[in-house]
């Protein structure tokens, strides 16, 4: 029983405890729910408060943004108004300027229109005046024509009357009058010539020695002068002092810059340039002529002019070489060889220009090669280059043959061309027929009449031919060629040739010499007529 009672008591106790636990659990759950609800309510209250604050802030930001927008709008409107004002002012200023310009143009046009109207009225008046003058001129022309007709009729009547009185026709009278005029003219010419000869004889004794010495000197020094001397004419003798300069500084500057010696002596209005290099002498001549023309002569100007002339002459030399190449018809020469060919233009040999001689040799060699069916271009090339060494023989030692061959080798010319250059004077054996043709062409060009100095036989033959020409005219008694062939002295028969005929005889002889002979310089024809009367007293 006790056990049951204990069991029941235990059960009651456990139930009570369970109820208490359940009650606690339920209470805890209810408390949790209540707490959650309370917390949720509190959270909602907090969210509502934050939302109100956020809305207030948003409203404040909107108000601030609206205020700033209004401020920016006011500023933009003010700036726009200011720009509009500026643009309006600028537009008005431009409009005023254009309006003023248009007014000025309008005033100019009005003035021009007035001038045109005035000129038009002047032209109208002048036209009227010219019309009146033209009418007067036409009237006078008609009157002149009438007078001319009357004069011509009177002239015909007078001519007919003269022909009747003189018993000569017009052609016969004209022929007779012409013959009389010619005879009178001949007599007048003869008198004038005699007067001139008398005056010359009076002065001959005074000037004979000077003339003879100058003739001998020129004859002996022609080649040297042509090769080494150039003469520059001066406008006056005062220019010599300016060329010399203070203490000789100008003349030293010219000589140092060009390498040519200036000879300033007592010869009036002339400066002589002396030097063996023809190119330098040409530079000095052109420089001096330009300085004289310019008038500014001082060392700086001299150096500047020499430099400029040197460049120009180099261009001319190159152009001359190219012209020679084109004239001959060959191409592909080295530029330096072209320049050397151009330098030959200022080189002479025995009085013959080497530039023209080289072109002539090339053309002759080419023609002969063409006839023989050989290489024409090769022959022309060798002929043009055969004397190329003469362009450098004043600057380097050696013969022009060797210097020309060296130049051809240097600028890569064919070995056969080099052989033709070396063989044109027989220094080496020619290896080609074209080289032989160059030899022949060189001899032909040098032997052409007037090209070089004459041989003795040719000189004697020319003198004999001069005497034959002079003696071939009617009335000539004797004829002599004197003064080394520069004068023909003709002695005529005085009973067959009078003084007037002597003048025309001299002219006829001179014309025949010009047409039949080739000679250097000029030949004087001197016709001498001497009439002697001898009587004996017994």
Kindly report the CATH number assigned to the domain that includes residue 279: 3.30.1370.10
Q: Is residue 80 part of a domain?
A: no
Kindly report the CATH number assigned to the domain that includes residue 447: 1.10.3210.10
Verify that 347 and 306 share a domain, yes or no.
no
Whether residue 136 contacts residue 142, with contact meaning beta carbons closer than 8 Å, is answered with no
Could you write out the three-class secondary structure of 97-113? HHHHHHHHHHHHHHHHH
Q: Is residue 333 part of a domain?
A: yes
Final residue before a domain boundary, out of 145, 176, 205: 205
Query: pLDDT at residue 439 above 80?
Result: yes
Verify that 195 and 303 share a domain, yes or no.
no
CA distance 405 to 403: 5
Q: Is residue 281 part of a domain?
A: yes
Verify that 475 and 447 share a domain, yes or no.
no
Verify that 198 and 306 share a domain, yes or no.
no
Final residue before a domain boundary, out of 409, 427, 453: 453
Query: pLDDT at residue 456 above 70?
Result: no
Q: Is residue 5 part of a domain?
A: no
Kindly report the CATH number assigned to the domain that includes residue 503: 3.30.300.30
Q: Exposure string (b/e) for 228-250, b if CB count within 10 Å is 16 or more? A: eebebebeeeebbebbbbeeeeb
Structurally, how many domains does the chain consist of? 4
Q: Is residue 37 part of a domain?
A: no
pLDDT at 394: 63
Verify that 370 and 470 share a domain, yes or no.
no
Domain that holds residue 187: 167-205
Query: pLDDT at residue 211 above 60?
Result: no
Verify that 448 and 467 share a domain, yes or no.
no
Q: Is residue 89 part of a domain?
A: no
Q: Is residue 285 part of a domain?
A: yes
Tell me the whole-structure pTM to 2 decimals.
0.42
Query: pLDDT at residue 451 above 60?
Result: no
Verify that 478 and 433 share a domain, yes or no.
no
Whether residue 259 contacts residue 287, with contact meaning beta carbons closer than 8 Å, is answered with no
Verify that 218 and 306 share a domain, yes or no.
yes
Percent of the chain topping pLDDT 70 = 82
Looking at the DSSP assignment, which residues form a beta bridge with residue 13? none
Verify that 337 and 437 share a domain, yes or no.
yes
Verify that 465 and 426 share a domain, yes or no.
no
pLDDT at 212: 33
Verify that 346 and 413 share a domain, yes or no.
yes
pLDDT per position as a tens digit, 472-509: 898 898 898 887 677 889 999 888 888 778 888 888 89
> Which H/E stretch holds residue 232?
strand 229-233
pLDDT at 14: 59
Whether residue 330 contacts residue 381, with contact meaning beta carbons closer than 8 Å, is answered with yes
Query: pLDDT at residue 176 above 70?
Result: yes
Q: Is residue 290 part of a domain?
A: yes
Final residue before a domain boundary, out of 396, 419, 453: 453
Verify that 334 and 299 share a domain, yes or no.
no
Query: pLDDT at residue 397 above 60?
Result: yes
pLDDT at 208: 41
């Amino acid at each position: 029983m006790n056990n049951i009672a204990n069991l029941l008591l235990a059960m009651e106790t456990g139930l009570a405890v369970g109820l208490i636990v359940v009650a606690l659990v339920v209470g805890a759950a209810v408390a949790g729910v209540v707490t959650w609800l309370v917390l949720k309510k509190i959270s909602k209250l907090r969210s509502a408060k934050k939302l109100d604050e956020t809305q207030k802030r948003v409203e404040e930001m909107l108000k601030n943004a609206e205020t700033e927008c209004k401020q920016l709008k006011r500023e933009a409107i003010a700036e726009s108004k200011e720009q509009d004002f500026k643009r309006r002012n600028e537009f008005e200023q431009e409009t005023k300027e254009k309006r003023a310009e248009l007014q000025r143009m309008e005033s100019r046009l009005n003035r021009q229109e007035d001038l045109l109207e005035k000129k038009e009225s002047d032209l109208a008046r002048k036209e009227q005046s010219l019309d009146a003058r033209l009418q007067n001129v036409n009237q006078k022309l008609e009157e002149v024509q009438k007078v001319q007709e009357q004069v011509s009729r009177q002239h015909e009547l007078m001519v007919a009357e003269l022909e009747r009185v003189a018993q000569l026709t017009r052609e016969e009278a004209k022929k007779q009058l012409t013959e009389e005029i010619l005879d009178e003219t001949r007599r007048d010419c003869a008198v004038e010539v005699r007067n001139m000869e008398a005056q010359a004889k009076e002065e001959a004794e005074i000037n004979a020695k000077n003339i003879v010495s100058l003739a001998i000197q020129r004859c002996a020094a022609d080649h040297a002068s042509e090769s080494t001397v150039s003469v520059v004419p001066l406008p006056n003798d005062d220019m010599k002092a300016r060329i010399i300069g203070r203490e000789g500084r100008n003349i030293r500057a010219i000589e140092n810059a060009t390498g040519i010696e200036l000879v300033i002596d007592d010869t009036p209005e002339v400066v002589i340039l002396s030097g063996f290099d023809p190119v330098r002498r040409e530079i000095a001549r052109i420089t001096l002529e330009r300085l004289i023309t310019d008038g500014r002569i001082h060392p700086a100007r001299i150096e500047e002019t020499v430099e400029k002339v040197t460049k120009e002459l180099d261009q001319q030399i190159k152009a001359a070489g190219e012209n020679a190449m084109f004239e001959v018809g060959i191409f592909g020469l080295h530029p330096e060889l072209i320049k050397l060919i151009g330098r030959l233009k200022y080189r002479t040999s025995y009085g013959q220009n080497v530039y023209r001689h080289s072109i002539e040799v090339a053309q002759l060699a080419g023609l002969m090669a063409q006839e023989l069916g050989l290489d024409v271009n090769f022959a022309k090339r060798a002929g043009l280059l055969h004397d190329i060494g003469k362009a450098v023989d004043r600057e380097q030692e050696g013969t022009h043959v060797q210097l020309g061959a060296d130049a051809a080798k240097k600028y890569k010319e064919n070995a056969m061309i080099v052989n033709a250059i070396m063989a044109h004077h027989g220094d080496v054996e020619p290896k080609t027929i074209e080289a032989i043709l160059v030899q022949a062409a060189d001899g032909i060009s040098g032997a052409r009449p007037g090209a070089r100095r004459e041989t003795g036989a040719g000189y004697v033959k020319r003198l004999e031919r001069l005497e034959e020409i002079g003696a071939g005219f009617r009335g000539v008694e004797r004829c002599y060629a004197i003064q080394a062939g520069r004068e023909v002295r003709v002695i005529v028969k005085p009973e067959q040739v009078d003084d007037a005929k002597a003048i025309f005889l001299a002219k006829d002889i001179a014309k025949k010499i010009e047409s039949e002979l080739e000679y250097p310089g000029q030949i004087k024809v001197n016709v001498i007529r001497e009439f002697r009367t001898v009587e004996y007293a017994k």
